Chain A
Amino acid sequence: RQELLKWNGWGYNDSKFIFNKKGQAEFTGKRYRLGGMVLPTFKEWIEKTFGASLEHKTTSRASLNVNDVPPSIVKEEFLQDLRATKISYSQDAEDRVFRAHGHCLHEIFVLREGMFKRIPDIVVWPVCHEDVVKIVELACKHNLCIIPFGGGTSVSSALECPEEEKRTIVSLDTSQMNRILWIDERNLTACVEAGIVGQDLEKQLAESGFCTGHEPDSMEFSSLGGWVATRASGMKKNIYGNIEDLVIHIKMVTPRGIVEKNCQVPRMSTGPDIHHFIMGSEGTLGVVTEVTIKIRPVPEYQKYGSVVFPNFERGVACLREVAKQRCAPASIRLVDNAQFQFGHALKPQVASIFTSFLDGLKKFYITKFKGFDPNVLCVATLLFEGDREKVLQHEKQVYDIATKFGGLAAGEDNGQRGYMLTFVIAYLRDLGLDYYVIGESFETSVPWDRVLDLCRNVKERIVRECKEKGVQFAPLSTCRVTQTYDAGACVYFYFAFNYRGISDPIHVYEQIERAAREEILANGGSLSHHHGVGKLRKRWMKESISDVGLGMLRSVKEYVDPNNIFGNKNLL
Chain B
Amino acid sequence: ETASHSLFLCSQQKELTSKKRDEFEDILEERRLSSDLRYAMKCYTPVIYKGLSPCKPNALKSAVLQSEQVQYVIKQLAKEMGESPDIIQEEATEILDEMGHSMQLGAVRFFAFTLSKIFKQLFQRVCVNEEGMQRLQHAIQEHPVVLLPSHRSYVDFLMLSYLLYTYDLALPVIAAGIGKDFLGMKIVGELLRRAGAFFMRRSFGGNRLYWAVFAEYVKTMLRSGYAPIEFFLEGTRSRTAKTLTPKFGLLSIVMEPFFKREVFDTYLVPISISYERILEETLYAYELLGVPKPKESTSGLLKARRILSDNFGTIHIYVGQPVSLRALASGRINRCPFNLVPRHLPQKPSEDIQEFVSDVAYKMELLQIENMVLSPWVLAAAVLLQNLPAVDFELLIEKTLWLKGLTRTFGGFIEWPDNLCAKKVVVSGLSLHSNIARLVDGHVVLNDKGVEDGAVGEIVFRRALAILMCATYRNQLLNVFVRPSLVAVALQMTRSFRKEEVYSCFSFLRDVFSDEFIFFPGISLKDFEEGCFLLTKCDAIQTSQQEIYPTDKGSATVSFLSAMFRPFVEGYQLIFRYLSKETKEAFTEKQFIPGVRNFVFQLLEKGNTQCYEALSSDMQKNALAALVQLGAVKKKKLSNGFTYNVNQEDVSKILDMFDARIPVQKPVAARL
Binding site for B on A (CB under 8 A): 449-450, 453-454, 456-457, 460-461, 521-524, 543
Contacts and interface: CB of A to CB of B under 8 A. Distances in A.
B86 interface: no
A359 B342 CA distance: 44
21 contacts: A449-B342, A449-B343, A450-B261, A450-B343, A453-B261, A453-B262, A454-B261, A456-B264, A457-B261, A457-B264, A460-B264, A461-B264, A521-B335, A521-B339, A522-B261, A522-B335, A523-B261, A524-B261, A524-B338, A524-B339, A543-B336
A454 B338 CA distance: 13
A445 B484 CA distance: 54
Interface centre among B262, B264, B338, B342 (most CB of A within 10 A): B264
Contacts of B338: 524
A523 B261 CA distance: 6
B72 to A, nearest CB: 13
Report the interface size class on chain B: under 10
Contacts of B261: 450, 453-454, 457, 522-524
Interface of B: 261-262, 264, 335-336, 338-339, 342-343
B267 to A, nearest CB: 14
A457 B342 CA distance: 18
B224 to A, nearest CB: 13
B539 to A, nearest CB: 43
Contacts of A524: 261, 338-339
B285 to A, nearest CB: 50
Contacts of A450: 261, 343
B216 to A, nearest CB: 16
A375 B255 CA distance: 32
The 5 closest A-B pairs by CB, nearest first: A524-B339, A523-B261, A522-B335, A460-B264, A457-B264
Contacts of B336: 543
A465 to B, nearest CB: 12
A407 to B, nearest CB: 20
A460 B51 CA distance: 12
Contacts of A521: 335, 339
Contacts of A522: 261, 335
A431 B77 CA distance: 61
A449 B338 CA distance: 13
A462 to B, nearest CB: 11
A453 B338 CA distance: 14
A450 B344 CA distance: 11
Chain A CB count within 10 A is highest, among B338, B339, B342, B343, for B339
Given A449-B343, A450-B343, A543-B336, 15 more contacts: A449-B342, A450-B261, A453-B262, A454-B261, A456-B264, A457-B261, A457-B264, A461-B264, A521-B335, A522-B261, A522-B335, A523-B261, A524-B261, A524-B338, A524-B339
A460 B262 CA distance: 13
Nearest to B53: A313
B600 to A, nearest CB: 53
A523 B343 CA distance: 11
A255 to B, nearest CB: 36
Contacts of A456: 264
A141 B245 CA distance: 71
Contacts of A523: 261
Nearest to B340: A524
A543 B264 CA distance: 22
Nearest to B51: A456
Nearest to B260: A453
A450 B263 CA distance: 11
A151 B338 CA distance: 39
Contacts of B339: 521, 524
Nearest to B343: A449
A474 to B, nearest CB: 15
B162 to A, nearest CB: 33
A449 B335 CA distance: 17
A518 to B, nearest CB: 9
A450 B262 CA distance: 8
B452 to A, nearest CB: 70
A449 B336 CA distance: 16
Contacts of B342: 449
A487 to B, nearest CB: 11
A335 B343 CA distance: 26
Q: Which has the most chain B C-beta neighbours within 10 Å: A453, A454, A522, A524?
A: A522
A147 B119 CA distance: 78
A89 B380 CA distance: 92
A524 B339 CA distance: 5
A162 to B, nearest CB: 28
Nearest to A519: B261
A450 to B, nearest CB: 7
Nearest to B334: A543
A522 B336 CA distance: 8
A203 B336 CA distance: 45
A454 B264 CA distance: 9
Contacts of A449: 342-343
Nearest to B333: A522
Nearest to A459: B264
A522 B264 CA distance: 11
A422 B236 CA distance: 59
Contacts of A461: 264
Nearest to A521: B335
Question: Most chain-B CB neighbours within 10 Å: which of A453, A454, A456, A543?
Answer: A453
A449 B262 CA distance: 10
A166 B261 CA distance: 45
Nearest to A464: B264
Q: Which of A450, A460, A461 has most chain B Cβ within 10 Å?
A: A450
Contacts of A453: 261-262
